Chains A and B, each alone.
Chain A
Amino acid sequence: MADKHKHVDEVSGVETTGHEWDGIRELNNPMPRWWVYTFYATIIWAIGYAIAYPSWPMLTEATKGVLGYSSRAEVTAELSDAKAAQASNAERIASSPIEDIMADPELKQFAISAGASAFKVNCAPCHGSGAAGGKGFPNLNDNDWLWGGNPQEIYQTIAHGIRYDGDEETRVSEMPVFADMLTPDEMRATAAYVLSLTAMPSNPALVEPGKQLFADNCASCHGADAKGSREVGAPNLADAIWLKGEGEQAITDQIRSPKHGVMPGWVNRVGDPVVKDLAIFVHSLGGGE
């Protein structure tokens, strides 16, 4: 940029920048005036912006800006707006009995949506995000219900839990340990009979003695037809669903020393309206009665 080397293009009569690439020089035309003004305007804008909004990083935080804007405050405001928008439906759910909610399609849909998100937070760790359960954890999609599958019964189960120490209204049932009462052969025979209700056992000869053993020891809770009893939470043994595992060995194990699942009661943790949401959501999964 030395002045003495000022180079002027012969054709246009315009000064060049002094740079040269393979004989090509760059003309040093001034910027259009409006362009320069626009550039100045952006600078002024930037200064104003830096004053108005959080911009300069300091030691612990950035400058606040005179407008006091913060994206976090905006999110909080949006969240409280959303809460306010849901308030009327949420209040109606809190004050209505579960049958009334089921009868109102809009309110029911609201409860299902609310229940779906509450389920992901509270229930998914045991029952799975799709409510499909697993061994020892019931699948909530199917139509096999230990304690009943209408919305009111589901509500009761969720609210107070099963075999849950912290709630006096909890559902309780306990299958006796048969290891001391039956011999291993008797237990095998009983298991063979139970399996024969839905499948072919390995030794058909055991079915007949097993039937008598079942009538003597099991029918009082599981019923003479082995279809279970919801009053005591006794599972239906004549269906295709096996909570504690499938097959003769699993049945034998369960007779010998039964495993019992525990579900906490939720009404004191999440409150009555959310339990309603959850009950209606679970009922809507496809197996509800």
Chain B
Amino acid sequence: MHYQPAQKAGSVERLEAKPINAARLGRPLYEKRRKIFPKRAEGRFRRFKWLVMLVTLSIYYLTPWIRWDRSAHAPDQAVLVDLAARRFYFFFIEIWPQEFFFVAGLLVMAGFGLFLVTSAVGRAWCGYACPQTVWVDLFLVVERFIEGDRLARMRLDTGAWTFDKVRKRVAKHAIWLVIGVATGGAWIFYFADAPTLMKSFVALEAAPVAYMTVATLTATTYVFGGLMREQVCTYMCPWPRIQAAMLDENSLVVTYNDWRGERRTRHAKRAAAAGEVVGDCVDCNACVAVCPMGIDIRDGQQLECITCALCIDACDGVMDKLGRQRGLISYATLSDYSANMALATNNGAIPIDPRRVRDGNGVFVQGIRDFDWRIIFRRRVVLYFGVWALVGLGMLYALVSRDRLELNVLHDRNPQYVVESDGSVRNGYVIKLLNMIPEPRRITLSLDGMPSARVRIAGQAPGDGQSFSVAVDPDKVTSFKIFVTLPKESLVEAQSGFSFRAEDPSSKERDVYRTNFIQPGTAK
């Protein structure tokens, strides 16, 4: 169903729509949920939201299927959280568990990003990008496709359980469930090779956890997106409550500009003819009808408002039809709004008088403040951006400068040393070579600082040298035990410790680990 413009030019269809939370209704906070039947909106914000929905859903559903060739030794999935092997792949980046601080950094950035966006443009996250909003939008598309737009849905809802109603309801819920399965299904593909898992999943051969995950996410998607909808935002989500602390008088919020809208009337011409002062609002309730949260923005800024701006679209459409300026409902800051309000009420001395804000030609007077985009670059926004960028730059630096070859050395604790029959002293070490690239390598391990010491790998023939070459598996930790033996007459060399040095002869990557050599009398 499409929005039907009014037949008569200058007249506007009046909708039967009531807000669910109007203060004048004295509603109890808790009761059976009032059903909301959002009407389809059209306009620039709606178009932008379609675009955001397309982009975000595409990212979510398609990302696991992007291939990314690493090498024969690593998975070729661009984004993969390999929990079993404890590796996280993101295009050209591979993260090991000890590098999890990158993920922590991303979360810090996400947090500050949320503060940044909220300070700059208000609850843009809630209105446009939050999965809850996006999926509810998707579910509403299905609902409208099957049951029709607002009025048809309301009729269907109150109507008797005819065959047609049953058919529509079954179809709607079935498609919702399919979307839920697809959502849960897409999620598991981030944790395993997507094509392989798809095949085994369909063949009912995948791991039970895959089916449980899909079932859980199907349930949450269906319940949150189809059944609970706005209640998730109002009751469950902490963000609407936290964001109150993020907003100030210069934050963008969806605002009903009652300084030009009031006194609202449904009979503007008759009222004008009677000499009454009337505003731009024709009380058509279009803003209430399209609201997915079911509120009336004309009651002022509210906890429930997710600033999806659909009421702006609806109202702009009405204003266009009436030949009035757009922006009766608009993104505005509290300071702009208050200034305009002061003008319209002569600083509160009189009720709103729309004549005070327009000149004789219907054009807004000089003093009317419009949104100035420069207000976005105020101090707190710059500060948030600074912190956000700092974390990002720090992580970028950590990323480009991180080691892909790491050496860890564990000195034997029991016994700490062994005296051999010729009086030489032997220490045992467990060497862990972390080859963090998906290619096999040969690494040279050598001793620094004990020229007389000899090193050998446990279980192999005694070596006579200070270094040896060892093959390390791609993308793995290679762990082995070595013995370092120092002749009796050279024990003094060990007094200040020594270093192990691991080096890739071809790339010259190296890592050095300083450790101790323990001998009788120095045991710790």
Q: Which residues of A contact B (CB under 8 A)?
A: 12-14, 29-34, 108, 128-132, 139, 141-144, 198, 236, 239-241, 284, 286-287
Q: Given contacts A141-B415, A240-B488, are A30 and B28 in contact (CB under 8 A)?
A: yes
Does B362 reach chain A (CB closer than 8 Å)?
no
Q: How far is the CA of A241 from the CA of B458 in the complex (A)?
A: 22
CB-contact partner of A240 in B29, B31, B420, under 8 A:
B420
Q: Which residues of B contact A287 (CB under 8 A)?
A: 418, 420
Does B423 reach chain A (CB closer than 8 Å)?
yes
Taking the closest CB of chain A, its distance from the CB of B521, in whole angstroms, is: 13
Q: Which of B26, B412, B422 has the most CB of A within 10 A?
A: B422
Q: Which residues of A contact B412 (CB under 8 A)?
A: 130
For A238, the closest partner residue in chain B by CB is B421
For B227, the closest partner residue in chain A by CB is A34
A286 and B423 contact, CB distance less than 8 A: no
B423 and A240 contact, CB distance less than 8 A: yes
B421 and A240 contact, CB distance less than 8 A: yes
B31 and A144 contact, CB distance less than 8 A: no
A141 and B418 contact, CB distance less than 8 A: yes
Q: How far is the CA of A30 from the CA of B28 in the complex (A)?
A: 8
Q: Which residues of A contact B414 (CB under 8 A)?
A: 128-130, 132
Taking the closest CB of chain B, its distance from the CB of A161, in whole angstroms, is: 23
A33 and B422 contact, CB distance less than 8 A: no
Taking the closest CB of chain B, its distance from the CB of A276, in whole angstroms, is: 17
Q: How far is the CA of A286 from the CA of B456 in the complex (A)?
A: 10
Within 8 A of A (CB), among B412-453: 412-415, 418-423, 426, 428
Q: Which residues of A contact B31 (CB under 8 A)?
A: 30, 32-33
B30 and A286 contact, CB distance less than 8 A: no
Taking the closest CB of chain A, its distance from the CB of B134, in whole angstroms, is: 23
Taking the closest CB of chain A, its distance from the CB of B422, in whole angstroms, is: 6
0/1 interface trace, chain B 67-103, chain A, CB 8 Å (1 if under): 0000000000000000000000000000000000000
B26 and A130 contact, CB distance less than 8 A: no
Q: Which residues of B contact A29 (CB under 8 A)?
A: 28-30
For A199, the closest partner residue in chain B by CB is B423
Does B397 reach chain A (CB closer than 8 Å)?
no
Could you show 14 A-B contacts with beta carbons less than 8 Å apart?
Answer: A30-B31, A32-B30, A33-B30, A108-B459, A128-B414, A129-B414, A130-B414, A132-B414, A142-B419, A239-B421, A240-B419, A241-B421, A286-B428, A287-B420
Q: How far is the CA of A128 from the CA of B414 in the complex (A)?
A: 9
Does B32 reach chain A (CB closer than 8 Å)?
yes
CB-contact partner of A236 in B421, B423, B459, under 8 A:
B421
CB-contact partner of A239 in B29, B32, B423, under 8 A:
B423
Q: How far is the CA of A284 from the CA of B458 in the complex (A)?
A: 7
Q: How far is the CA of A24 from the CA of B484 in the complex (A)?
A: 75
Within 8 A of A (CB), among B207-245: 228, 231, 235
B415 and A130 contact, CB distance less than 8 A: yes
Q: Given contacts A236-B421, A239-B423, A240-B423, are A132 and B415 in contact (CB under 8 A)?
A: yes
Does B483 reach chain A (CB closer than 8 Å)?
yes
B420 and A143 contact, CB distance less than 8 A: yes
Q: How far is the CA of A131 from the CA of B26 in the complex (A)?
A: 81
B32 and A12 contact, CB distance less than 8 A: no
Taking the closest CB of chain B, its distance from the CB of A114, in whole angstroms, is: 16
B421 and A144 contact, CB distance less than 8 A: yes
B235 and A32 contact, CB distance less than 8 A: yes
Q: Given contacts A33-B30, A286-B426, are A241 and B483 in contact (CB under 8 A)?
A: no
Q: How far is the CA of A13 from the CA of B420 in the complex (A)?
A: 90
Q: Which residues of A contact B33 (CB under 8 A)?
A: 33-34
Q: Which residues of B contact A12 (CB under 8 A)?
A: 26
B30 and A31 contact, CB distance less than 8 A: yes
A139 and B418 contact, CB distance less than 8 A: yes
Q: Which of B30, B31, B418 has the most CB of A within 10 A?
A: B418
Q: How far is the CA of A239 from the CA of B422 in the complex (A)?
A: 6
Q: Which of B28, B231, B419, B458 has the most CB of A within 10 A?
A: B419
